[in-house]
Amino acid sequence: MSTREIDDRAARPGRRTTRRTLAVTATAAVALAGMGGPALAKGPGGESNGNPNTSKKITQAVDVDNVWAHLEEFQRIADDNGGNRAAGTEGYEASAEYVEQVLQEAGYETERHPFSYPRTRTVAESLTVEGESLGVRVMSYSPATPDGGVTGTLAAPAVDPEGCDAAAYGEGADLTGQIAIVSRGSCAFAAKSLVAAAVGAEAVLVYNNVPGMVNGTLGEPDPGYVPAGGMTQADGQAVLARMAEGPVEATVQLETVDEVVSTFNVLAETSQGRDDNVVMLGAHLDGAQEGAGINDNATGSAAILETAVQLATVNKLNNTVRFAWWGGEEDGLQGSDAWVADQSDDELADIATYLNFDMVGSPNYIIGVYDADESTYAAPVEVPDGSIETEDVFTDYFDSIGQPWVDTMFSGRSDYQPFIAAGIPASGLFTGADGTKTEEEVEMFGGTAGITYDPNYHTPADDLSNVNPEALDIMGDAIAHATLSLAQDTSEVNGKRSAGKSGKPHPQGDLPTADEGDEGDEDAA
C-alpha cells in the first residue's frame, strides 16, 4: 500500500452500526516447481463442486491453502531476485509471469498494459547516534544529504516538540550545524522541514507519536526543504532521554536517485457476461522497495488470483468480471492511474463497480471495509454513487456469517482513487497497515492493542511470516462472495440487470436511475 503520509492526521478504523446490506501472452515462462494447473473447486468433503455458482460454493472453492500457495510463490520469487518485487525489477517481472501462467492455465487470456513514470529510488538511509545505528526512513521529495551524510548535535524544539513553526524552537533559536528532532503531530511533514531550515538546521528527523516507523512524504519538491527522515516512536524517545543528559551527536545519511521506470499492469477478464456491465477487481502486484512485499500486497494479489481461477469454473456469469494486477502502486498509484487515463469515457462507463484489495493478511489484523457511507469517517474525497451499495455487499456478507468488521476511511489512498475520480463506484477490504490497534478492536478480532496492525509494514520483514492466515481466510471468502454476487447482479449498485447464459440485458431492461425518473419501478423490481 502506498501510504507515505503527507501530514499527521492518520485514520484509525472504528466500529459503526451495521447496515443492510486483449490477449498478450507472457514473454517468458516462469519455473513453477511442483505447480500444476489450478486446483478444482472442492466441497467440504473433498468432492468437486465443479460449478461453484453460489456464495457457499465459491467461498469453499477459494480455499486459503491455495491462496497461501500463491504467497509461497511470490516469496520464492522475491528470494530469487534480491528480496524485492518492486515495480521495474526482475522480481516484479517474475511475479507478473507467475500470475499470467496461472491465469492462462485457468483458461484466461492475459494482457499487459505498459506505462512509464519517474521515480525517486532510495540509495542510502542511515542514522547513527553516538555510534549506535538506528532505523530511519527517507521521506519522499526529501533533498539528499551531502556525500557521507550530515553530522551534528541533535536539537529538539524548546517550546513545542512538534516543530510546526519557528516559535516552537524558542525566540531567536539558531540550529546552524545541528540536526532537528521533532515529534509527529498536527502539521504536515513539509512544514516541519521548512521550519527546521528556517532556524538553520542541517536536517530534520521526525519520530512517531505512535508505535512504528514514520513513512512520510513532503508532498512535492521545494528548494526550501532540508533533508527529512522518519523514526520510530521508541527510538525517538530513547534519543530524547539521552539528550536530557547532555549533548548528543548524530550522523544521518539520506540519498536518493531519480530514474524512469518502464513497467506494466496485468489484466484478464472472463469470457462470459455482459461486457457493458463489467465488475472489476484490482490489487497491486508490486511491493515496496524495502523488501518482498508479501502482506503488502502479495496477499491481495494472491486472493484475487485464486478467485479468478475458481470463477473460471462457474458455468454461467451474467456480467463480465475483469481482474487487474497493478504495477507502481507503491510509487503513487502509477499503474491504476495510467490504465484509467488510457480508457475512453465509454469504456469507463461500462464499469459497474471497482473492488480494491490492498493488504488483506495483516498480522495484527482488523476486518476493515471502506466506509463509503461515511458512517464513521468523513471521506476526504468525493464518493461516487453506487459505492455505498458496493460496500453493502461486503458488510451484509460479514453480518450474515456473524463476522465482526469495522469501517476504514474511504480515503482514496490506494488503487481505487483513479476509479472514484472517474465517478466509478468502489469499495474494498483492508486489514490495516501502520495504524494502531485499539482495545475495542482486540475484543472484536484478537491481537495486541497499542501496536500497529502490521509492525513490518514497508520493511524487509514483510515476508511470508508476516501474514495472518486467519485474516487471509476471512478476507478471501469475502472477496469470493462479493465477486460472484456482483458477477450475477449489480442492479443494487447501478440499476443494470442481466440474465441468461448470453449475458445479454434483462428482458425487462435496466432499472431506471434517480435522474431517469422513478426509482420504484415495481415491474422491474
Residue 326 has pLDDT above 50, yes or no: yes
Rounded to whole angstroms, how far apart are CA atoms 16 and 388? 14
User: Which residues are paired to 251 by β-bridges?
Assistant: 128, 151
Residue 26 has pLDDT above 60, yes or no: no
| pLDDT tens digits, one per residue of 76-114 | 999 999 999 999 999 999 999 999 999 999 999 999 999
Find cell 511475479 and name the residue.
95
- Which CATH number does the domain housing residue 250 bear? 3.50.30.30
- Which CATH number does the domain housing residue 450 bear? 3.40.630.10
Residues 229 and 343 in one domain: no
The DSSP string of 217-235 is: B-SS--TTPPPEEEE-HHH
- Could you give the percent of the chain with pLDDT greater than 90? 80
Residue 185 has pLDDT above 80, yes or no: yes
Residues 290 and 343 in one domain: yes
Residues 292 and 377 in one domain: yes
Contacts 24+ apart (CB under 8 A), 255-258: 255/122, 255/123, 255/124, 255/125, 255/138, 255/144, 255/145, 256/120, 256/121, 256/122, 256/123, 256/138, 256/142, 256/144, 257/120, 257/121, 257/123, 258/118, 258/119, 258/120, 258/121
Determine, yes or no, domain membership for 350.
Answer: yes
| pLDDT tens digits, one per residue of 191-206 | 999 999 999 999 999 9
Residues 226 and 284 in one domain: no
Determine, yes or no, domain membership for 362.
Answer: yes
What is the predicted pLDDT for the residue at 219?
84
Rounded to whole angstroms, how far apart are CA atoms 391 and 355? 9
Residues 476 and 418 in one domain: yes
| pLDDT tens digits, one per residue of 329-342 | 999 999 999 999 99
Residues 426 and 317 in one domain: yes
| pLDDT tens digits, one per residue of 364-414 | 999 999 999 999 999 999 999 999 999 999 999 999 999 999 999 999 999
Determine, yes or no, domain membership for 23.
Answer: no
Where are any strands of DSSP class E within 53-140?
Answer: 110-129, 132-134, 137-138
Mean pLDDT for 273-295 is: 96
Determine, yes or no, domain membership for 364.
Answer: yes
Residues 432 and 328 in one domain: yes
What is the predicted pLDDT for the residue at 516?
43
Residues 408 and 387 in one domain: yes
More confident residue, 239 or 42: 239
CB-CB neighbours of 400 under 10 Å: 11
Find cell 465488475 and name the residue.
279
Contacts 24+ apart (CB under 8 A), 167-173: 168/195, 169/195, 169/199, 173/199
Residue 248 has pLDDT above 50, yes or no: yes
Residues 98 and 128 in one domain: no
Determine, yes or no, domain membership for 6.
Answer: no
Residues 306 and 254 in one domain: no
pTM as predicted: 0.77
Average pLDDT, the chain: 88
Indicate the range of 118-127, 222-231, 297-306, 308-317 predicted with least confidence.
118-127
Q: Omega of the bond prior to 297 within 30 degrees of 0, cis? A: yes
Residues 253 and 162 in one domain: yes
What is the predicted pLDDT for the residue at 74?
98
Confidence of residue 23 (pLDDT cuts 50, 70, 90): very low
What is the predicted pLDDT for the residue at 220?
85
340's grid cell: 484509467
What is the predicted pLDDT for the residue at 76?
98
What is the predicted pLDDT for the residue at 412?
94
Indicate the range of 78-92, 236-250, 291-305, 495-509 predicted with least confidence.
495-509
Determine, yes or no, domain membership for 98.
Answer: yes
Residues 408 and 337 in one domain: yes
Q: Which amino acid is at 37?
A: G
Boundaries of domain holding 322: 55-108+270-492
| pLDDT tens digits, one per residue of 412-470 | 999 999 999 999 999 999 999 989 999 999 999 999 999 999 999 989 999 999 999 99
What is the predicted pLDDT for the residue at 499?
67
Residue 221 has pLDDT above 80, yes or no: yes
Residue 16 has pLDDT above 60, yes or no: no
Determine, yes or no, domain membership for 265.
Answer: no
Find cell 431517469 and name the residue.
516
Number of structural domains found in the chain: 2
Active site residues: 329
What is the predicted pLDDT for the residue at 49?
55
Determine, yes or no, domain membership for 472.
Answer: yes
What is the predicted pLDDT for the residue at 506?
62
Mean pLDDT for 43-50 is: 49
What is the predicted pLDDT for the residue at 508?
59
Rounded to whole angstroms, how far apart are CA atoms 484 and 64? 17
Confidence of residue 46 (pLDDT cuts 50, 70, 90): very low
Describe the crossing of helices 299-311 and 90-105 by its angle, rounded to 10 degrees. 20
Mean pLDDT for 39-46 is: 45
Find cell 521545494 and name the residue.
222
Rounded to whole angstroms, how far apart are CA atoms 62 and 433? 24
Contact 390/373 with Cβ under 8 angstroms? no
More confident residue, 48 or 440: 440
